[in-house]
Amino acid sequence: MISKVYFIRANREEAPEEIARKAATIYLELGLNQKIEPEDFVAIKIHFGEKYNTGHIKPRWIIGIIDEVLRKSQRTFLSDSNTLYVGCRSNSVDHLRLAWEHGFTPEVVKVPVIIADGLVGREKLEVKTAGIRIKAPRISSAFLNSNAMVCLTHVTGHVQSGVGAAIKNLGMGCASRAGKLDQHSVVHPRVSTKKCRNCGVCSQFCPAEAIVQAQEHVLIDDEKCIGCGECLVVCRYGAVKMKWDEDSERLQEKMAEYAHTVKSHFGDKICFVNFILQVTKDCDCLAKNQPAIAEDIGIVGSLDPVAVDRASIDLVNRSVGKDVFRQGYNLDWSVQLAYGEKIGLGSQKYELEELK
């Protein structure tokens, strides 16, 4: 199957209003707006950028898309899920404040910002699937309670998957913190004895009763631990850590399975718009500004997340004249695309149509 991918040239030197017009042009061409009903909850999935990060999608770039969606449903909201690591986006209060700092305020974007997995990342729904890597993906509840989704993604490199684009935004970005744990690690959490206050909160929330209080810090019983990540979520001191040792291939496959679960929930009421502007070596979770590794290219959109990512990567690498993503971390980023194609997430074969 050959998927249609729409492309429009753009760069950061253009006025935000012009970029917003181009993004809306791509979005309307995809046809999702015609399927949205007035009572639909419409989630506009986006990454608000980590503190000090400047590469993320800018709020004024997406005003055109938001205006079009609002014409169909007033139940539209911007959303992301909390992070697995401890930082400015690991709880909803700090996450919302950071979104405001980056300009995602009601005065600018005209819609609410809702963090999809709740205050500390525990609001999730499990979906039974026939996945090979993941049998019960744990998805942030606000996404699975929505009727339609517009997935807006900033294309970047990534330290664990080589490329971070629509598949990552859908699979990792829509997962709850426990779901992110599913994808990142097959080992159990560990306790930092220096940071642990021995307060016992984690043991109270542990569903497997795998955490006990020792003399100076808590201990996790590996035989009882089910890897749910609840202790990581509730610890306020950053004392519970993960071993980031999941190899890239398995992580990409799990990410694709999570993405398939989310896409399947929305059926034909989901679309993908990738911004290929200020493409950086690392994703927007990095808390600093990064130089671009390629010239600004534009915006691409599709109903197929595999195709839109394949097109995005091809456009970047052709413009540079080499595989700039593999150069970043020497990871085979194609695993997520090939596996996504294998499980029915989409197709790597695409037809690119350029718009004005």
Q: What is the mean pLDDT of residues 274-283?
A: 96
Question: pLDDT tens digit string along 224-265?
Answer: 887 677 787 789 998 998 665 457 899 999 999 999 999 999
- Tell me what pLDDT residue 87 has: 80
CA distance 81 to 173: 6
- Tell me what pLDDT residue 270 has: 98
User: In the chain, pLDDT over 90 holds for what percent of residues?
Assistant: 81
Residue 184: pLDDT above 90? no
Q: What is the mean pLDDT of residues 99-105?
A: 98
CATH architecture under which domain 188-241 falls:
2-Layer Sandwich (3.30)
Residue 314: pLDDT above 60? yes
Least confidently predicted of 201-205, 214-218, 251-255, 285-289: 285-289
Least confidently predicted of 24-28, 58-62, 191-195, 230-234: 230-234
Q: Grade residue 48 by pLDDT with cuts at 50, 70 and 90.
A: very high
Higher pLDDT, 180 or 245: 180
- Tell me what pLDDT residue 187 has: 60
- Tell me what pLDDT residue 140 has: 98
CA distance 229 to 220: 12
49: left (phi over 0), alpha (psi -120 to 50) or beta: left
Average pLDDT, the chain: 94
- Tell me what pLDDT residue 248 has: 84
- Tell me what pLDDT residue 244 has: 53
- Tell me what pLDDT residue 14 has: 98
- Tell me what pLDDT residue 208 has: 83
Q: Where are the domains of the chain?
A: 3-182+247-354, 188-241
Least confidently predicted of 78-92, 190-204, 227-241, 316-330: 227-241
Residue carrying structure tokens 């915006």: 299
- Tell me what pLDDT residue 243 has: 61
Least confidently predicted of 123-132, 197-206, 219-228, 255-264: 219-228
Instruction: Tell me the C-alpha to C-alpha distance, in Å, between residue 27 and each of 9, 20, 260, 301, 317.
Output: 14, 10, 21, 7, 24
- Tell me what pLDDT residue 224 has: 86
CATH code of the region 3-182+247-354: 3.40.50.11440
